[in-house]
Chains A and B, each alone.
Chain A
Amino acid sequence: MLAEAPAPIRDIEAFLDQDRQKGLLRFTTAGSVDDGKSTLIGRLLYDSRGVYEDQLAAVRNSAVNRSTGPIDFSLLTDGLRAEREQGITIDVAYRYFATPKRKFIIADTPGHEQYTRNMATGASTADLAILLVDARLGVLPQSRRHAAIAILLGIPRIVVAVNKMDLVDFRADVFERIREEFDGHLKRLGIGDACFIPVSALDGDNVIARSSRTPWYEGESLLEHLENVPLDGGRTGRPMRFPVQYVIRPDGSFRGYAGQVVSGIIRPGDSVIVLPSGRASRVKSIVTWDGDLAEAFAPMPATVCLDDELDVSRGDVLVHPGQMPHVSRHFETMLVWMSAQPLQPGRPYLIKHTTRQLTATITAVRCRLDVNTLEETPADRLELNEIGRVAIESTRPLFFDAYTSDRATGSLIVIDPISNATVAAGMIQEPRRNPAADYASQTALLELEFQASRVTPVERYARAGYHPATIWLAARQDLAYLLERLLFERGCQVHVVSGEVETRILPEIAALLGAVGLITIFSDSTLDAAECERARARVGSERFFHFDPDNLAASDEQAARQICAVLEDRGVLPRSRFSETEGI
């Protein structure tokens, strides 16, 4: 299995073409001391020719060889002098290799127990985690811990490499016993589809190619698995989030908001809402060096130009209407504490979240997490390498999603304002479904247009918990009244306007009722399409909903529920507890 001199490339253009199509998989590796992790990575690099000849020669010439073979593969990856002396990897090291199918980035993290923070670091950007288990020792407390951290950091896929199979004579029963025990643990933590592979990193069994010494194993080799596991394209399916990084204004005529689409897709013509101002606009164009784009999806960089001249700056977020993130100064997060100085509740810290930095206080430690089982135990402080759930209060509102639904808008780091050190990494929790707090948290919503009133739509929303809307339901009076009842029962001020309205002033009435916060249902068989468009123009398309009777269910009850679902989708109503299926 040694790397032979590769055949000269006959057709470089074909090679480049293939190389250009490759996707990227980032994975992290975690194992306990001496379970052969560095050797496994050295083997992957070596066998896939990710190691250069002269680097290999330096390892061959090294005075140290802790292995039994001619080459100590672990020396290829142990970087710093101090580590070389201790023989333990003590920091995160990044490694690169590629196969004809994929390019890989490895975040190699140490197994020593006190280095939880390094594993969290490596895990934060990984699509997949390889957890190593020594076949002789079985599932150790550290193995459970590594699994727990991988899951906590939201790594979508887990592979368990049961290593040193050569030292247990490649016995299927040893592998099966470990698989059963570890799989049970992973299932309890919420991972049902982990992949288990028996390997010998030292000899190369099942690392690159399937081994004849494990005839009872029918799965893929480790590298085959890494090459074939689906890449996570899930980021583009989520609600669009575009945190503004930098405002580009080369001259008076151009104003673009540069940033990265961290989730979802944005296209020219899209209606967008700018947080925190709540102002609405439309995407005029998406400008890049390579030309204007018809769409930009996560994680593409882009420069977005808007139709309106708004005051948008770094830290603002563009979102689609009806797909609001949570907005709050109060939230709970899971923290991995990374500083020797323990967390001090009540002390001001800095938080960096997307492209914003703000001051915040950790008001309380709610609990500490048992890093082996993820069970919560009461605690009032956190120390180095401990993980716990805390309550945070920031000086300004944060626009966030739960980490479990969006890693980009659900993550934050905590910075000590005196030492400037990064002291913790945080994963924001889904706010508990306290309706009052939920409504209040979405305060930064709608554009302030009605100059006549000093009470802003945002404040009205904070109190009411829903947005005013104009619902156009020509010719379904029974449905209109049923919908009124349904909305009323959900706490909305709602009113049906039917029959006697003078059509010329109808748009004004719609706008006025909206301005005072009502949901108004227009239901009259004499209303026509022209009226509808005039009313829409006056009210604004964000708050105007025209339902064609032909597209609704025949049963009034079903149709009313359809309409409620649309209102939820568009952010007029908060999601009801039972209809929540979003974010998956």
Chain B
Amino acid sequence: MNCRLTHLRALEAESIHIFREVAAEFARPVMLYSIGKDSSVMLRLAQKAFYPGKIPFPLLHVDTSFKFREMIEFRDRYTSAIGATLIVHRNERALAEGANPFRLGTQKCCALLKTRALLDAVSEGGFDAAFGGARRDEEKSRAKERVYSFRDAAGQWDPKNQRPELWNLFNSRIDKGESIRVFPLSNWTELDVWHYIHLENIPVVPLYFAKLREVIVRGGSLIPIEHNPPLLPGEKPQAVMCRMRSLGCTPCTGAVRSHADTVPKIIAELVGVRRSERENRIIDHDQEGSMELKKREGYF
């Protein structure tokens, strides 16, 4: 008998423990569902944590209206197939006032359509705990994030005043209006996530797989044309074999050239190409230490 878990099963065990702790200790948890691969893994772990029961909390998608059509289709199909409750929230007021990244720039656009919308949705729903799929290996400031990340009544994060977190004893105490962001995938790496998707045969949005897509080639970037980004003189869309490495809004998510059309091929590409997955996310690079600033303000 081999009483030792492989690293994927050890990570799975840790995540399931976190899901159950939160469901037991908080009055109104919610899972932030971004439709991406990490969300897909979170969903599977939540299914496992409460099997044969259903997932005992709703999913919340903060929809900026700039998401890929394939993401929305996948979201609606998959969440209904597994019987999950889905809440979709948009910052309708900002959208009515014409918020978009081309006019406002990425920083302001994110602040309104993602951060603000998220904070509003959490407070309107009265949610006291919100699961997010962030991993510590994604970005330097995330390496110090707790599994239970305390947010004050304004939804903000104070990196200097985090609760120490020992063993797997999580402190769930909060006052009214405060909340905890919970990151069950904290210790997973991008490779772990893909390998688990492969192992468990978890459905993901087809945008992750390579195919010929119409994009604008600008320098090294491949820009999707779904939401009509402004063109530079002489630019016109062309078909390129490519895929998305991470999924965000179409104007801010570049595609990467790739022939990887299966999960094993994606993993092969990942191990071969050592570029971090957030590299194609424009918002991380708009200011030095920018992710940390966004997080202080309440971004995931």
Is there contact, CB below 8 Å, between A53 and B167?
no
Closest chain B residue, CB of each to CB of A259: B20
Closest chain B residue, CB of each to CB of A81: B289
Is there contact, CB below 8 Å, between B166 and A54?
no
Is there contact, CB below 8 Å, between A52 and B279?
yes
A81 contacts which chain B residues (CB < 8 A)?
A: 289, 292
Stretch of A9-17, A143-151, A205-213 that contacts chain B: A9-17
Is there contact, CB below 8 Å, between A420 and B174?
yes
Stretch of A93-101, A182-190, A320-328, A452-460 that contacts chain B: A93-101
Given known pairs A246-B23, A411-B166, A420-B175, the reply for A288 and B51 (CB within 8 Å) is yes
Within 8 A of A (CB), among B126-181: 136-137, 140-141, 143-144, 159-160, 162-171, 173-175
In the complex, per-residue mask of B12-27: 1 if CB is within 8 Å of any chain A CB, else 0: 1110110011011100
- Judge if A346 is at the interface, Cβ distance under 8 Å: no
Checking B23, B52, B279, B292 against A80 with a beta-carbon cut-off of 8 angstroms, the contacting residue is: B292
Within 8 A of B (CB), among A551-570: none
B13 contacts which chain A residues (CB < 8 A)?
A: 260, 299-301
B141 contacts which chain A residues (CB < 8 A)?
A: 79-80
Given known pairs A96-B137, A250-B53, the reply for A413 and B171 (CB within 8 Å) is yes
Given known pairs A23-B4, A54-B279, the reply for A258 and B49 (CB within 8 Å) is yes
Rounded to whole angstroms, the CA-CA distance of A87 and B236 in the bound complex is 47
Is there contact, CB below 8 Å, between B274 and A49?
yes
- Judge if A374 is at the interface, Cβ distance under 8 Å: no
In the complex, per-residue mask of B186-206: 1 if CB is within 8 Å of any chain A CB, else 0: 110101100100110000000
Q: How far is the CB of B126 from chain A (nearest CB, A)?
A: 19
Given known pairs A94-B143, A301-B17, the reply for A23 and B6 (CB within 8 Å) is yes
Rounded to whole angstroms, the CA-CA distance of A70 and B6 in the bound complex is 37
B4 contacts which chain A residues (CB < 8 A)?
A: 23, 231, 233
- Judge if A535 is at the interface, Cβ distance under 8 Å: no
A314 contacts which chain B residues (CB < 8 A)?
A: 24
B137 contacts which chain A residues (CB < 8 A)?
A: 95-96
Given known pairs A16-B198, A299-B10, the reply for A124 and B144 (CB within 8 Å) is no
Q: How far is the CB of B101 from chain A (nearest CB, A)?
A: 21
Closest chain B residue, CB of each to CB of A97: B189
A233 contacts which chain B residues (CB < 8 A)?
A: 3-4
Given known pairs A54-B276, A246-B20, the reply for A22 and B264 (CB within 8 Å) is no
Is there contact, CB below 8 Å, between A350 and B272?
no
Given known pairs A20-B6, A91-B162, the reply for A52 and B144 (CB within 8 Å) is no
Within 8 A of A (CB), among B225-270: 264-265, 267-268
Rounded to whole angstroms, the CA-CA distance of A288 and B10 in the bound complex is 15
Stretch of A113-121, A193-201, A391-399, A539-547 that contacts chain B: A113-121
Is there contact, CB below 8 Å, between B51 and A287?
yes
Checking B143, B164, B267 against A12 with a beta-carbon cut-off of 8 angstroms, the contacting residue is: B267
- Judge if A216 is at the interface, Cβ distance under 8 Å: no
Within 8 A of A (CB), among B257-300: 264-265, 267-268, 271-272, 274-276, 279, 289, 292
Given known pairs A289-B51, A301-B13, the reply for A54 and B195 (CB within 8 Å) is no
B12 contacts which chain A residues (CB < 8 A)?
A: 301
Rounded to whole angstroms, the CA-CA distance of A12 and B160 in the bound complex is 43
B53 contacts which chain A residues (CB < 8 A)?
A: 248-250, 254
Is there contact, CB below 8 Å, between B17 and A260?
yes
In the complex, per-residue mask of A3-27: 1 if CB is within 8 Å of any chain B CB, else 0: 1001011001101100111111000
In the complex, per-residue mask of A45-86: 1 if CB is within 8 Å of any chain B CB, else 0: 000010111110000000000000000000011111110100
Rounded to whole angstroms, the CA-CA distance of A421 and B175 in the bound complex is 11
Which secondary structure characterizes the binding site on chain A? mixed
Tell me how many residues of B have a C-beta within 8 Å of chain A.
Answer: 69
- Judge if B123 is at the interface, Cβ distance under 8 Å: no
Is there contact, CB below 8 Å, between B173 and A350?
yes
Given known pairs A231-B4, A245-B24, the reply for A15 and B166 (CB within 8 Å) is no
Given known pairs A287-B52, A289-B51, the reply for A413 and B7 (CB within 8 Å) is no
B106 contacts which chain A residues (CB < 8 A)?
A: none
- Judge if B8 is at the interface, Cβ distance under 8 Å: yes
- Judge if B47 is at the interface, Cβ distance under 8 Å: yes
Rounded to whole angstroms, the CA-CA distance of A412 and B167 in the bound complex is 9
Is there contact, CB below 8 Å, between B136 and A96?
yes
Is there contact, CB below 8 Å, between A422 and B24?
no
- Judge if B50 is at the interface, Cβ distance under 8 Å: yes
Is there contact, CB below 8 Å, between A421 and B7?
no
Q: How far is the CB of A409 from chain B (nearest CB, A)?
A: 11
Is there contact, CB below 8 Å, between A245 and B189?
no
Rounded to whole angstroms, the CA-CA distance of A84 and B165 in the bound complex is 23
Is there contact, CB below 8 Å, between B49 and A408?
no
Checking B3, B173, B267, B271 against A297 with a beta-carbon cut-off of 8 angstroms, the contacting residue is: B3
B279 contacts which chain A residues (CB < 8 A)?
A: 52, 54
Checking A245, A338, A350 against B17 with a beta-carbon cut-off of 8 angstroms, the contacting residue is: A245
Residue picked from A23, A52, A92, most chain B C-beta under 10 Å:
A52
Q: How far is the CB of A316 from chain B (nearest CB, A)?
A: 12
Is there contact, CB below 8 Å, between A118 and B275?
no
Is there contact, CB below 8 Å, between B275 and A52?
yes
A421 contacts which chain B residues (CB < 8 A)?
A: 163, 171
Q: Given contact pairs A80-B141, A80-B292, A254-B53, enumerate 4 new A-B contacts (beta carbons under 8 Å).
A: A12-B267, A233-B4, A260-B17, A300-B13
Question: Can you sample 22 A-B contacts with CB below 8 Å?
Answer: A8-B272, A15-B267, A15-B271, A23-B6, A52-B279, A76-B140, A81-B292, A125-B167, A233-B3, A245-B21, A246-B23, A246-B50, A250-B53, A258-B50, A260-B17, A289-B51, A301-B49, A350-B173, A407-B167, A411-B169, A420-B173, A422-B171
The 9 A-B residue pairs with the shortest CB-CB distance in the complex, in nearest-first order = A52-B276, A420-B173, A236-B3, A24-B7, A124-B166, A250-B53, A103-B7, A289-B51, A289-B48
**Chain A residues in contact with chain B, CB under 8 A?**
3, 6, 8-9, 12-13, 15-16, 19-24, 49, 51-55, 76-82, 84, 91-96, 98, 102-103, 105, 117-118, 120-121, 124-125, 231, 233, 236, 245-246, 248-250, 254, 256, 258-260, 265, 287-290, 295, 297-301, 303, 314, 338, 350, 352-353, 355, 357, 407-408, 411-413, 415, 417, 420-422, 425
